Amino acid sequence: MNQWKNFSKGFIRENAVFVLFLGLCPTLGVTSTAINGLGMGLATTFVLFMSNIVVSLIKSLIPNKVRIPTYIVVIASFVTIVELTMQAYLPTLFEQLGLFIPLIVVNCVILGRAEAFASKNNLLTSAIDGLGMGLGFAFALTLLGAVREILGSGSLFGLKFIAGDGILLFILPPGAFLALGYLIVIMNKIKEKTT
Amino acid sequence: MNSTILITVITLSAIGMAAALILYFVARKFRVHEDPRIDEVEEVLPAANCGGCGYPGCRNFAEALVKSDSFEGLFCPVGGNEVMAKVAEILGREAVTQAPLVAVVRCNGSPGHRPKTSVYDGPVTCAIAHALYTGESDCPYGCLGYGDCVEACTFDAMYMDPKTNLPVVIDNKCTACGACVEACPRDIIELRKKNPKDRKIFVCCINEEKGAVARKNCKVACIGCGACVKVCPFDAITLENNLAYIDAEKCRLCRKCSPVCPTNSILEINFPEKKMVVKGQEKKDAKEGSGKEEKVAASGSEQKESGEESKKDKESNSSNK
Amino acid sequence: MEYVIIIISAVFVNNIVLTRFLGICPFIGVSSRVSTALGMSGAVAFVMTIATLVTYLLQVYILNPFGIAFMQTITFILVIASLVQLVEIILKKVSPPLYQALGIFLPLITTNCAILGVAILAQQNEYNLLESVVFGIANAIGFGLALILFSGIREHLSMVNVPKAMQGVPIAFIVAGLLAMAFMGFAGIV
Amino acid sequence: MAEMIEHTGIVREIGPEGMKVRILSEPACSACHAREICGSGNSREKEITIREWQGNFHPGEQVQVMITESLGLKALFYSYILPFLLVLLCLVVLTAGGTREWLAGILSLSVLVPYYLILYVLRKRIDRVFSFSVSRFT
Amino acid sequence: MLKTFAKGGVHPPENKLSASRPIESLPLPQTVSIPLSQHIGAPPAPLVQKNDQVKTGQLIARGEGFVSASIHSSVTGKVVKLEEVMDAGGYRRPAVTIQVGEDEWMPEIDTSPGLIKEFDLSGKDIIEKVKEAGIVGMGGATFPSHVKMSVPRGKKAELLIINGVECEPWLTSDHRLMLEKGEELLVGIRLIMKALQVEKALIGIENNKPDAIEHLSGLCLGEKGISVVPLKVKYPQGGEKQLIKALTAREVPSGGLPIDVATVVHNVGTAFAVYEAVQKKKPLIERVVTVTGPSVKKPCNFLVRTGTPVSHLIEAAGGLPDDTGKIVSGGPMMGKALNSLQVPVTKGTSGILILPESMSVRKPVLPCIRCSRCIFVCPMGLEPYLLMTLSEKKMTEKMEKEHVMDCIECGSCSYICPSNRPLLDYIRLGKAQVNQLIRSRKK
Amino acid sequence: MDKLLRVSYSPHIHGENSVPRLMWGVIASLVPAFVLSVLYFGLGAILVTATSVLSCVLFEYLIQRFIMKVPPTVNDGSAVVTGVLLAFCLPATIPLWLVALGALVAIGVGKMSFGGLGSNPFNPALVGRVFLFISFPVQLTSWPLPMGFKTKLVDAATGATPLGVIKEGLLNNQQVPPLMDDIPSHMQLFYGNMNGSMGEVAAMALLLGFIYMVVKKIIPPVIPLTILGTVFVFTGILWLANPESNADPLFHLLTGGVMLGAIYMATDYVTSPMTKKGMVVFGVGIGVITVLIRRFGSYPEGVQFAILIMNAFVPLINSWFKPKRFGEEVQHG
Amino acid sequence: MAKKESTLLNMVLTLLVVTAVASTALGFVYEFTKGPIAAAREAKRISAIEQVLPEFDNNPGSEVKALAMDGDSVYLYTGRKDGEWVGTAVQTFSKQGFSGYIWLMVGFLPDGTIHNIVVLEHKETPGLGDKMEQEKSFDKKTGKSWSSQFFGKHPDNFQLMVTKDGGDVDAITASTISSRAYCDAVNRAYQAFKEGGNQ
Ligand SMILES: Cc1cc2nc3c(=O)[nH]c(=O)nc-3n(C[C@H](O)[C@H](O)[C@H](O)COP(=O)(O)O)c2cc1C
Ligand SMILES: Cc1cc2nc3c(=O)[nH]c(=O)nc-3n(C[C@H](O)[C@H](O)[C@H](O)COP(=O)(O)O)c2cc1C
Ligand SMILES: Cc1cc2nc3c(=O)[nH]c(=O)nc-3n(C[C@H](O)[C@H](O)[C@H](O)COP(=O)(O)O)c2cc1C
Ligand SMILES: Cc1cc2nc3c(=O)[nH]c(=O)nc-3n(C[C@H](O)[C@H](O)[C@H](O)CO)c2cc1C
Ligand code: SF4
Ligand code: SF4
Ligand code: SF4
Ligand code: SF4
Ligand code: FES
């Protein structure tokens, strides 16, 4: 497989959020600002990348029937690692993301990739797939975060560019749904145009 | 070793083991091992999820293909033989080929041919107009022209020709899924065998009324005179209920029938102009035919107004030269 | 009173789907059948109760005393995943027709995300055992409420001509957004 | 006519125990790669045994399996709601009675054991209640 | 408070222009085409052949089977064609076309004007005579009347209801009949009562026909068991279920027949036809037809022989107005639009309504705004907006569950809808789909 | 015959009602309220209403024309109604760009995303209004004093609405009876002499509009009556139980958006139930939620949320409360 | 797909190995991050105390006094420089916020004057109530935040109530409720300070 294609598919064509509609809970839950979205996205990317590597490495050693539990353990371990390191070195971000860091475990994207991709492909391909899908996920989260932040508080990555407040609704829960809804429509249009 | 690590290892191993055992049993109980070939088969299916195969989705069809021992009754009309061959390859089986079909509209009652006798003022759907009355002409068999068939086609393979007010099938887009056949309340559309270069000869009428009545209502109606039946060298034409029908299986595209039809209701489509073909054949026929030929061509092109079709016409013409 | 507050808060004010964003996948994917929504919240209530119960015991009597609370995520997910499936195995063994009937009736088996989320939230809120369980139930109800309302609206939408570009997931999100907006009216009620 | 819940399936075999029908996953789910672990899909294969039916079916045929909505709700009640209520009740009673928390927790969980035992004992009767009907796929 | 049915209904402008015009006999046309299927049920086979000479009232097709009706020649003359002619839907149906000659009636028919009150026939004989005369319901449904008079075993009729409601706007044929043939009508009612073995009959008449109410009430004074009940004007009071509800407060159960609540409903025209058939031995070969419309020069009530082409009636009413857009056979709410003037009058034709272009163009359809008006006016308690959508989306089973088959096709919903939605069009389509489904299930 | 006849199914005649006619009827009934609001709030009322209506119509036109690519249907009048009602629940001094934004959300999100007239599950005007309320609480809670044409367009003297005064007081552990002294009398409330959004202040004018619509058979009176009745009864019970911390029921009826909401917003055909039974349930629901929010929630006013929440229930109500079918139960009279 | 046959033994072994490896790794990561996590947690409180008190050189975290008030606890941290009391930081709360608890750290000078206030935690609406956080309402021109009005005031002669209720505090625009809660929390801190803050 063309590795570049393999890597880039996660951004638009097979984007986990906009196209496959996976991992929606964190997508909505943490994207009140772009930086949160990016943080969450990168954390997920890390887990996805690492677990894809590990799964791909050990795939031939795992008896078929304990596949899923093994994957869960692997993924959960990486999640815990992320959790602990974030807590230690990025405490503010950790607080913002809160519940959704442990919930990376159940993010369908990760297990789905492990099961459907890494368990069938070689190390490099799996790693690149993990990286691509993860960064695509991060891209989606950052984009949504950016949109919400720009509309909601008139700033981007914390830099304010309008005086006063934005449209508050967008940083509140309803805004997450609305912004994502319209983003999906726009992304669909883009996808249609490009393919 | 550090005690926390020890406890960690012990607890997690314990929990992990317990969980794993449970999950193991679950796996054994539930996860009927999915045949990986299902995925492969699904890959080659067109993913149109149109239901043309009779299954709710392509994946379900893939499952059915893998699970069943033969291909009997299993055919993807959208992918056609090509796809079925691929599937057969994956499954290591003999492919069944099915002659490719294409939808054909068997009515040529454009306003020029079929006088309008009333104005329909109800909802724009053939189903309702059909239930209400004969439609805007007096032909109770003819196309109503409200495009239920076009609406039903999920492949954009049909459109209503604004000039003739008749639906047109774009041959290379049509997958023979049969949705239009289902949709037409008058059973005008038929799935017919696809011939090379999309050539077709068929009786473009389904009117079963007596000749005089039929003719009064539509100039290009089949009046059941039987001339074509007599002229067909292959016994491909049958006459029933005042209506001729060309059996596509038997028809060899010899084009003898269409010139003899007094109402021009036999259409030839995508054939090169008569002269070319005729050259090597009986000269007499050519001479006779030349009088009617224009008409035939006219009615043919009238139905196939689309640019695509006429382009094709040209192509096949030039290639024949 | 404590319990009433937990319930009202979880159902209306901090609805699990509409403001906490958990269990979005089933919310988006589930059918437009009201009874299915009811069924899902019933099943989720059971699973959540059991899950919060077990994870509570695990956390308070194993993880905390041994000082390995950081193992929360990994142990919880293992326990929850296996519990849910254990219930299924048992059901299938105990009464196959019952199990089969459920199989047709409910599209769900687990909504891991919501169950893990609620189990962790119960810990974060430092609820005691009973409160944790009530919290679980309340969230199941909240989940059901959102789902039922949504199934109704979905049915309505299947009857009107939603623009093609909006159909499916986008419109579901718009509805969820407007629903969440309406639910903001409950702010401060507890 | 009672509300019916329908599901598409394929007849797998017809044997002495009845007709076994494999339930197909929803088209939307079937195309998704994450279905194996996704909570909400019909990821797992399910097989339904039908004991009584009318008409001729043959293996490989596509059918609709149906139960009434009320039967579905009843199944839900026996498999989830009732045990749930039992656990809750037990928990409330025990905590109110001052039992220590961990004990109360474990005891109320263990209520499920006799519950499922009873279900097991009664399975014949339950079997009779839950019957499915099939019809040809239209 | 006047009686009426409980739920729904509309009140379109009445426009009974021809109410004061006495019934005139229409001169015979040159040819008549008598369709062989003028009723619900199987069409009978013709007994005559081409070039046969027939007399007025002669049997030309015998109704075979129970639900069928005989057809008689309405004129004297020569059979010129046994071919299909266009029916009101444009479809060709078998018919007997007769070149009209000197009007010569079958000898046994009593053509004298005198009123014959007395009869001593048994119920069975009456039904037999009704059947022989080819009488079908003249209220529009053209259901063979003898069937309705033969109460099925296990059921009992208690009450005969005579439908003099004529709730359709514009139409006045029943109204005139009640005014001009009141006495004959009452004899007819007595005959039907005898056939049904009931003691009581009610004549329901809407309050916009005070003269008819007064006239018939007067006549009824001497009649035991027959009384006239004035009703509030509300469409579709003439629908038998609504009429029964209005008069007796009984509700015919969903999917049931009037006989399920021990009643039988007949139209006044039917009762009059029964009188003529039994007392005068005259088969059903003519009926009263209203020809009317806003631009019609001379709105009239004609006594017309069956088979007469509609164009002949229109000529007699002053010719086709220039602004004609639509011609309706029957009333504006339930009638059928004609696509040709050559369509013959049949036993069920109660009126010819000529609508100008301005009234006949349907307005553009807007989306349903869920205003509930269709629900409020539906006399059957259905949800037309929902049924239409279901029909559009081909959700046949759901439609069945929503009781689409209960719809009596009164058109109140389409009439009222502010979005001009063609509700009834789609509901009819839906009913056909459901019918198919039911039939396929029986297979 | 040369002229072709028209053919269609029956019925061949049609009643007089049409969507534009109904919509313009609603608008006509809103005239008294508009006149009063101009009297109270001056030029601002005119500007806000005009902006709102124009933006609604414009956005609907643009969206239909350029995004959905369907023939625009702005002349059915529904966008005008949305515009007027959106304006009526805004303060008269609100910046006009906010009005336009609200209109965009009302039409774009609330209506057109679902396919336009008849498809939207939530009341568009309220979607716009709640969107603004949540996004710009400062501007949306700055209520000008009713000073007629003396009302300044910006930086007008503002004050809390009567409901706001009560809520504030209660949160501050004050009691209701003394708070009532700061509030205009019931009679004044009835005339609309109070702080509030421009259309909702004058109960009198709204009732007039209500009567007009009922007489003209534009709406059945069920929904408004049940809402007002429920609010009256529920607040009445609270008041009788504890007059110290609850205002009297009449006060609750006359203040805030209850009148406007009950008469115009809850009656929107598209977003309200289809049967009388359903309407009663809907109305009671709105009444109860309104009072709950007013009394126990953070916001002084709850009608807007109550209506939106009940809008979400409408599809369920519609499938649970069917009209009674003829012949459903055998009736032997 | 991994086509390894499953036997009970290899399954159990696999899982054992996987969990063991995983947990060992986690244990090490935990050990490694334990310190930084604790430090990060502490840092937040310390930095708050540092912000609200004048310079000090002791560890206020070691001199904590907890007072039960209104159903929750208020904590007092004493700050000293060269052994001398320079002020007390009071970790206080209010339940009257627009949405739930508000936690503040209020620094008092020994005489009871408010030195500075930091918001520790709150759930008020972004853009409204959250202006109580200094950085959210910081005005570059004046160099002041909304909470600046409290600094240097003594609660005995500065009415800790919003002006609407007759106090001296100008409420945050459109957030009277949050402002009121803020005052309530500061008030509580002052009560606590009076009760237990004096050395
Ligand atoms: C199959 C069938 C059987 C009927 N049997 C009876 C009957 O036994 N008694 C009766 O009074 N009417 C009977 N009817 C006639 C109906 O009651 C009714 O008059 C007819 O369908 C037309 O009524 P309408 O014009 O109101 O639609 C029957 C109709 C049908 C279709
Ligand atoms: C909507 C509707 C309106 C009707 N209006 C009348 C009417 O005005 N007068 C009438 O005689 N029959 C009317 N009918 C027909 C009656 O339902 C019924 O068929 C008839 O009265 C039975 O009598 P018949 O069999 O003698 O025709 C109407 C039917 C329907 C469905
Ligand atoms: C979405 C939203 C969020 C709000 N958040 C707060 C808040 O955080 N703090 C607050 O005091 N008021 C909040 N409010 C309440 C209003 O601003 C309320 O009108 C105000 O507290 C009282 O008005 P006043 O401060 O101008 O007197 C909020 C209102 C809305 C609509
Ligand atoms: C009685 C009545 C009330 C209406 N109320 C509203 C309303 O509150 N908000 C609104 O946006 N449109 C209202 N409309 C207009 C229209 O129905 C609305 O824009 C639709 O919801 C758009 O689909 C109303 C229309 C009528 C006839
Ligand atoms: S609907 Fe008809 S035209 Fe379209 S693809 Fe199917 S068969 Fe061909
Ligand atoms: S072919 Fe049939 S469906 Fe298509 S337009 Fe003609 S009548 Fe309608
Ligand atoms: S649904 Fe049928 S019965 Fe009801 S109003 Fe419409 S046409 Fe009449
Ligand atoms: S009357 Fe028309 S607009 Fe009103 S609900 Fe019925 S179909 Fe819809
Ligand atoms: S349910 Fe939460 S991510 Fe799927």
Which chain F residues are within 8 Å of B120, Cβ to Cβ? 6-8
For residues A54 and A42, give the distance between their C-alpha atoms in angstroms, rounded to a whole number. Answer: 18
Q: Does some domain include residue A16? A: no
CB contact under 8 A, F305 and C186: yes
| DSSP letter (8 states) at residue B262 | T
Which chain C residues are within 8 Å of E367, Cβ to Cβ? 160-161
Residue D128 CB neighbour total at 10 angstroms: 10
For the cut 60, the answer to whether the pLDDT of residue C170 exceeds it is yes
Lowest mean pLDDT among B291-295, E140-144, E319-323, G152-156: B291-295
pLDDT tens for each residue of E68-90: 889 999 999 999 988 888 777 77
For the cut 50, the answer to whether the pLDDT of residue B268 exceeds it is yes
The structural domains of chain B, with segments of one domain joined by +, span 36-91, 101-300
State what percent of residues in chain B have pLDDT above 70. Answer: 78
Which residue puts its alpha carbon closest to atom 1 of ligand 5?
Answer: B153
Nearest CA-CA partner of C18 in C155, C133, C149: C149
Which chain F residues are within 8 Å of A172, Cβ to Cβ? 134
Average pLDDT over residues F93-105: 93
Structural tokens at position C155: 């049915």
Mark whether G and D touch (3+ CB pairs within 8 Å). no
Question: What's the CATH number of domain B36-91, 1.25.40, 2.60.40, 1.10.15, 1.10.3470?
Answer: 1.10.15
CB contact under 8 A, B16 and G18: yes
Alpha helices in C95-189 (DSSP H): 96-105, 112-124, 129-159, 169-183
Hey, what amino acid is at A45?
T
DSSP string, E86-139: E-TTS-EEEEEEEEE-S--B-TTS-------------HHHHHHHHHHTT-B-TT
| Ligand 1: lining residues by beta carbon, under 6 Å | E 137, 139-141, 143, 147-148, 152, 239-240, 257-259, 264
- In short, whether G178's Cβ falls inside 6 Å of ligand 3 is yes
Lowest mean pLDDT among B136-145, C22-31, E189-198, F123-132: C22-31
For the cut 80, the answer to whether the pLDDT of residue B58 exceeds it is no
Which ligand 7 atom is the nearest neighbour of the CA of E424?
7
| CA B125 to ligand 7 centroid distance, Å | 21
For residues B9 and G21, give the distance between their C-alpha atoms in angstroms, rounded to a whole number. Answer: 8
SS3 of residue E141 by DSSP: coil
For the cut 90, the answer to whether the pLDDT of residue F52 exceeds it is yes
Distance of CA E104 to the CA centre of its chain: 28
Lowest mean pLDDT among C154-163, E62-71, E269-278: E62-71
The structural domains of chain E, with segments of one domain joined by +, span 26-109+283-357, 123-280, 373-442
Q: Which residue has the higher pLDDT, A159 or B122?
A: B122
For residues C87 and B29, give the distance between their C-alpha atoms in angstroms, rounded to a whole number. Answer: 13
Nearest CA-CA partner of F76 in F12, F6, F3, F24: F24
Q: Does some domain include residue A48? A: yes
Mean pLDDT over all residues of chain A?
Answer: 84
> Is G99 an 8 Å CB contact of chain C?
yes
Q: Which residue has the higher pLDDT, F232 or B287?
A: F232
Helix (H) or strand (E) holding E231: strand E226-231
CATH number of B101-300: 3.30.70.20
pLDDT band at B2 (very low <50, low <70, confident <90, very high): low
Q: Which residue has the higher pLDDT, G33 or F132?
A: F132
E strands, chain B, are 101-105, 118-120, 158-161, 166-169, 189-193, 200-203, 237-240, 243-246, 266-269
Alpha-carbon gap: A171 to the closest alpha carbon of chain F (Å)? 9
How many domains would you assign to chain A?
1
Hey, what amino acid is at E396?
T
Look up the domain containing A184 and give its range: 2-8+31-194
Q: Which residue has the higher pLDDT, F149 or E264?
A: E264
Mean pLDDT over all residues of chain G?
Answer: 80
pLDDT band at B302 (very low <50, low <70, confident <90, very high): very low
Which chain F residues are within 8 Å of E250, Cβ to Cβ? 331-333
SS3 of residue B177 by DSSP: coil
Which residue puts its alpha carbon closest to atom 7 of ligand 5?
Answer: B176
Q: Does some domain include residue A149? A: yes
Average pLDDT over residues G126-133: 79
pLDDT value of residue E356: 94
Average pLDDT over residues G149-166: 81
How many alpha carbons lie under 13 Å from residue F177 in its C-beta half-sphere?
4
> Which of B60, B61, B69 is the mutation pick for testing D, counting most D CBs within 10 A?
B60
> Which of G128, G175, G176, G187 is the mutation pick for testing F, counting most F CBs within 10 A?
G176
Name the residue facing A178 among C25, C77, C177 (closest C-beta).
C177
For the cut 50, the answer to whether the pLDDT of residue D40 exceeds it is no
pLDDT value of residue B276: 46
- In short, whether A105's Cβ falls inside 6 Å of ligand 9 is no
Average pLDDT over residues F134-160: 71
CB contact under 8 A, F274 and E415: no
pLDDT tens for each residue of F284-304: 999 999 999 988 887 888 899
pLDDT value of residue F81: 95
pLDDT value of residue B320: 39
pLDDT value of residue E299: 94
C·G CB contacts under 8 A: 11
Average pLDDT over residues A117-130: 82
Nearest residue of chain E to residue F7 (CA atoms): E337
SS3 of residue E147 by DSSP: helix
The structural domains of chain F, with segments of one domain joined by +, span 19-140, 162-194+219-320
Nearest residue of chain F to residue A185 (CA atoms): F113
pLDDT value of residue G47: 83
- From E5, E68, E130, E147, mutation site for ligand 1 pocket: most ligand atoms within 8 A of C-beta: E147
Name the residue facing G14 among A70, A85, A89 (closest C-beta).
A70
pLDDT value of residue B310: 40
User: Do the beta carbons of residue A97 and residue B51 sit within 8 Å?
Assistant: no
For the cut 60, the answer to whether the pLDDT of residue E429 exceeds it is yes
> Which of D66, D135, D137, D138 is the mutation pick for testing E, counting most E CBs within 10 A?
D138
pLDDT value of residue B317: 40
The structural domains of chain C, with segments of one domain joined by +, span 2-184
Q: Which chains would you list as touching E if contact means 3+ CB atom pairs under 8 Å?
A: B, C, D, F
Structural tokens at position E89: 């839907």
CATH number of E123-280: 3.40.50.11540
User: Do the beta carbons of residue B157 and residue B170 sit within 8 Å?
Assistant: yes
Alpha helices in chain F (DSSP H): 19-29, 31-41, 43-62, 78-88, 96-104, 124-135, 137-140, 162-171, 176-180, 186-191, 203-215, 222-241, 249-254, 258-260, 276-296, 303-320
How many alpha carbons lie under 13 Å from residue E369 in its C-beta half-sphere?
26
Which CA distances in Å does G161 have to G177, G184, G193?
11, 8, 18
For the cut 50, the answer to whether the pLDDT of residue B288 exceeds it is no
For the cut 80, the answer to whether the pLDDT of residue C172 exceeds it is yes
A·C CB contacts under 8 A: 110
pLDDT value of residue B300: 41
For the cut 70, the answer to whether the pLDDT of residue C109 exceeds it is no
- What is the value of pTM for the model shown? 0.88
For the cut 50, the answer to whether the pLDDT of residue E125 exceeds it is yes
Which chain G residues are within 8 Å of C68, Cβ to Cβ? 30
pLDDT value of residue G171: 81
Assigned CATH topology for domain E26-109+283-357? Ubiquitin-like (UB roll) (3.10.20)
CB contact under 8 A, A65 and G127: no
Average pLDDT over residues E203-228: 92
Mean pLDDT over all residues of chain F?
Answer: 88
pLDDT band at D25 (very low <50, low <70, confident <90, very high): low
CB contact under 8 A, F319 and C153: no
| CA F277 to ligand 4 centroid distance, Å | 21
* CB proximity under 8 Å: C 55-94 to D: 56-57, 60-61, 90-91, 93-94
| CA C89 to ligand 9 centroid distance, Å | 24
> Which of B6, B9, B33 is the mutation pick for testing G, counting most G CBs within 10 A?
B9
For residues A80 and A128, give the distance between their C-alpha atoms in angstroms, rounded to a whole number. Answer: 22
Structural tokens at position G198: 């004096």
- In short, whether G177's Cβ falls inside 6 Å of ligand 3 is yes
Which residue puts its alpha carbon closest to atom 1 of ligand 6?
Answer: B143
pLDDT value of residue B312: 39
pLDDT value of residue G99: 72
Nearest CA-CA partner of B132 in E438, E43, E395, F6: F6
pLDDT band at B275 (very low <50, low <70, confident <90, very high): low
Average pLDDT over residues B156-174: 91
Mean pLDDT over all residues of chain C?
Answer: 84
Alpha-carbon gap: F314 to the closest alpha carbon of chain G (Å)? 30
State the Rg of chain G over Cα. Answer: 24
pLDDT band at A101 (very low <50, low <70, confident <90, very high): confident
| CA E251 to ligand 7 centroid distance, Å | 16
For the cut 60, the answer to whether the pLDDT of residue B299 exceeds it is no
pLDDT value of residue B146: 94
